[in-house]
Structure 1
Amino acid sequence: MAPAPSSRPRSATHVSMTRKGGRPMSDPISATPDARYQGFATVADTGPRGMIMVRGEPATLAKAAKTAGPDMPKARAVTGKGDVSLAWMSPDEILVLCDYAAAPALADKIEKALGAEHSLVAVVSDARSVFRVEGDKADQVLRKLTPADMDALGQGEMRRTRIAQTAGGIWSPAPGVYEVMCFRSVGQYVFDLLANAAKSGSELA
């Protein structure tokens, strides 16, 4: 004879996993969490950043930009409005920068606005790392590592270039401040390069 079903309610079991340091496993985390170095310039991991790659014809990119908010950037420029920025990456590509949590919904909004137009909209937030280099001589850190003409890199401009042996992007959101983007897989390598180049006593002048 089968036992009578219990009248007591079943209890729900919730398992929560945490990383070392107390972060829940579901929280976004960069390749070099909390990394920071203080030399003659400060180098710091900016944390997870929302990024959406949009590719298409110029008219398609203009429509995507209008949907995201900021003005469509001209060649090598970065534009911004509120918490969203747009970076020109090539004649057929722009990069949308936003809050990490907002990226999926914004990507969906852009994709719906583009409809059947031939395009690619992809959230690439977890595939990138971003570091901030800041200080009166912050440009010297990058002069040691990139062939880009730092004298010609104005505020609000983007350069796709190389950081030593890997590809990267550099832009200047404010005077004395540079942000360096690279693939997440080489995040530790790029942070170490920047920190080494920022060592006190190694200034170029």
Structure 2
Amino acid sequence: MLEINQLKITLGSHVLAYQQHIESGNIVTLQGVSGVGKSSLLLCIAGFIKPTAGRILWQDTDLCALAIEQRPVAMLFQENNLFEHLSALKNACLGAEYRSTKHAEATVTEAAERLNIADQLHKLPTELSGGQRQRVGLLRTLLRPEPIILLDEPFAELDSQTRAVAAQWVADIAKQNNKTLLLVTHQEEDVKKLADVNWLLT
């Protein structure tokens, strides 16, 4: 279980407060108006923002006491954060645990076929569209071994048809691998397709 207990984040003069218990393996969509603290919560869970009060517990371990690299978390930022000097394939393989390079490339390619970008994997990120970059970021994040997945508006640059395909793939991978997933979205279609729980921040 992921427990967010009396968590507070202070940004300037603004204090954001959170309280939620999330069952392991659940997909939680986060909604709310701009500035309510959706992205800040993900950044705090990942360790990029320090809370001013409260705790974040994962299986009874306080994540706030762990360094970023020690946390069982994989996060996809809005900017995708791909390495520009590496191919899409090599970007997607980063961080995951594979038996060999051949196994890694085969696994990524199979997933990329589901997302309709297998024919783009040889390209550098600068040669990809925004939507293609976003899907490479999804591959890299979801195929990693960490049990907690944080996605900040992961479908924002996708058209409606591609968005539906990507959302279904995310749901399938998360459920197959018992990932606990938090996803920021403004789209009701994402909530309907993905959410076990919809958390509306106010």
User: Does 1 or 2 have the higher relative contact order (CA < 8 Å, sep 6+)?
Assistant: 2
TM over 0.5: no
Q: Normalized against structure 2, the TM-score is what?
A: 0.29
Q: Normalized against structure 1, the TM-score is what?
A: 0.29
Larger Rg: 1
